Structure 1
Amino acid sequence: MTSHTALLIIDYTNDFVADKGALTCGKAGQDIEPRIIQLADKFVKDDDWVILPTDVHTPNDPYHPETKLFPPHNVRDTWGREFYDDLADWFKVNQDQDKVYMYDKTRYSAFAGTDLDLRLRERHIDTLHLVGVCTDICVLHTAVDAYNLNYQLVIHKNGVAGLTPAGKKWALNHFEHVLGAKVID
């Protein structure tokens, strides 16, 4: 039977999570790691999809809008772009499975400028579970695009972290009351 569900682990890298990351959520991001690993294991066990949309940048790109907003981050082939801590180990163990893969993205949304929608539709996926960072930036923009593309959304509030508690709280409210997402623990 074909699964219609995917877990998207968004931007869970050293630059966004580690204490010395260039644009880190810090402890809030680190605290969600057990939940992310737990969900990833469950999705693999249930033969569902686990996709890791991961920000990638070129430092000081004059054509990229984030260059003027944020310090260089998630630069290809750097420590900052590597998956954080236990997720790095989890990915090494699971990356050869057919339904687990990393996905490059260059904008906040995992859909912007990628063929993610096409790949999901080819696989008949209609429900997306979102975890990762930052709740009020990349997770939010991915959720908005998914909503506009008519995907069902499930946000795991214990699996997302923002740069600030207020940003996370606002985004969780937006997911539920504006995008109609199911927000669960």
Structure 2
Amino acid sequence: MADKDALLIIDYTNDFVDDQGSLTAGKPAQKLDQSIVDLAEKFKDDNQFVIFPTDVHKKDDPYSPETKLYPTHNVRGTWGRQLYGNVGKWFNKNQDLDNVWQMDKTRYSAFAGTDLDLRLRERNVKTLHLVGVCTDICVLHTAIAGYNLDYNLVIHQSGVATFSDLGQKFAMDHFKNVLGAKIVD
């Protein structure tokens, strides 16, 4: 079986992207919408994988460390957890394909407490392409876990955003200089 790539579209939900989201990165995140759709379409057409690791919580969950850190966000079954904009429309149109799926995650990293590594290895995925929000939180923690599991990493700079320029710069430097990720536009 030939080596495969996977595009991970991390946490691109209304709560993290929309102006009305409870923990929004706002305009910088909204600007990613079409570039993420274009990437997803390319991966789908090339018979690669498009995976949506998506944060999920319960309101006031005493077992989630995020309850103390952030406002309530990405509660299952709410508008806030729905995928944002054109990305959401793209997913709804393609979610029944074998190479497109959404998965729940309850921690920053898409690997923590999930079967993502197993599913990727079953499909002979060697390289992870990361986009989504927030660059210095969930994207970064997913990249670190992927690095520690020996995946090749590609960060699409035109596909990631966060709350501050400082956080964006730190994460991009970390991807490149500490994780050896390939940075592309």
Question: Per the shorter chain, which TM-score range?
Answer: over 0.9
Partner of 2:92: 92
For residues 65-113 of structure 1, the C-alpha deviation after alignment (integer angstroms, 9 at most, x for no partner) is 0000000100000000000011111011110110000010000000000
Matched residues, number: 185
Q: Give the deviation of 1:63 after TM superposition.
A: 1.3
Give the RMSD, CA atoms, in angstroms: 0.8
Which 4+ runs in 1 deviate beyond 6 A? none
Partner of 2:83: 83
Structure 2: gaps (5+ residues): none
Taking the TM superposition and a 5 Å limit, the aligned residue runs for 1:3-42 are 3-42=3-42
Q: Is the 8 A contact 2:3 2:126 kept in 1?
A: no
Q: Is the 8 A contact 1:13 1:82 kept in 2?
A: yes
For residues 108-161 of structure 1, the C-alpha deviation after alignment (integer angstroms, 9 at most, x for no partner) is 000000010011011110100000000000000000000000000000001000
Partner of 1:45: 45
Q: Which amino acid aligns with 1:168?
A: Q
Q: Is the 8 A contact 2:34 2:87 kept in 1?
A: no
Q: State TM-score, norm by structure 1.
A: 0.98
Q: Which amino acid aligns with 2:149?
A: L
Q: Is the 8 A contact 2:8 2:128 kept in 1?
A: yes
1:126 partner SS: strand
Structure 1: gaps (5+ residues): none
Q: Which amino acid aligns with 1:104?
A: D
1:51 partner SS: strand
Identical counterparts, % of pairs: 63
CA distance in 2, matches of 1:63, 1:6: 31
Q: State TM-score, norm by structure 2.
A: 0.98
